[in-house]
Structures are given as C-alpha cells and as structure tokens.
Amino acid sequence: MTTERRAVGAYGERVAAEHLQDLGLVVLDRNWRCPDGELDLVLRDGDAIVFCEVKTRRGTGFGTPAESIGPRKVRKLRQLANRWLAGSGLRARELRFDVVEVLPQRSGAPLVTHIRAAF
C-alpha cells in the first residue's frame, strides 16, 4: 500500500472515530492487529460491542465505499472479532458489525455515513 493510501485510510479512521464518539460510542480499541488481519475500530454502544470497518474513498466512481466489503471480507471480520473477544475477556449482550464510509470533500467537512448492523 502506498504512503498516500495509508494517509487517506488513517484520515478516514480518525474522522470515523470522532463521528462515532460524538454519537456516544466509546472506543475500546483502534487498529487492533493479529497475524490474521486488522480491526479498524472496536467500540461499546451501551450493552453492545461494535466492530466497525472504516472505508474511505475519494469518490464513488467504483461504487460506494461500503460496496467494497464482500462476503470474504465479512467472514474475515467475524473471525477477527472472535479473536479480539477471546483476548479481551469482555462479554456483551449484543455484537454488531458497522461500517463507516468517509468521503473527503475538496472543501469543508467530509461526508460520513454510518451504517449500523451492516452485516
């Protein structure tokens, strides 16, 4: 991955974390990594633990950011969530998988779309 793509991704994750915190969610973990992959954000929303995939794109020429999450990625995120839960010792009444789309704008605030229970 190029330095520019990493920077865009890191920007999107910062924007998403701020947006979700403004909605009252509490960040438990950011960029959690294991040998199998990475979880962008892990949050608490009341009694739920939320695993959030952040997708940032400069445009929608190739579809919306969320459309890039296919069945293979969903399986991977569920596996990673199970590994995170096993290591955290936390229990939750509910698990949820959200997606946050971030579309930077030439001027002004980025467009942020929060898709609750995306999969």
Query: What is the residue range of 82's domain?
Result: 3-115
Per-residue model confidence (pLDDT) at position 2: 85
* Count of domains forming the chain: 1
* Domain harbouring 99, CATH code: 3.40.1350.10
Instruction: Provide the token pair at 16.
Output: 């998403």
Instruction: Provide the token pair at 110.
Output: 């980025």
User: Cα(58)–Cα(110) distance, rounded to whole angstroms?
Assistant: 10
At 93-119, the pLDDT tens digits run 899 999 999 999 999 999 999 999 999
At 27-70, the pLDDT tens digits run 999 999 999 999 999 999 999 999 999 999 988 888 999 999 99
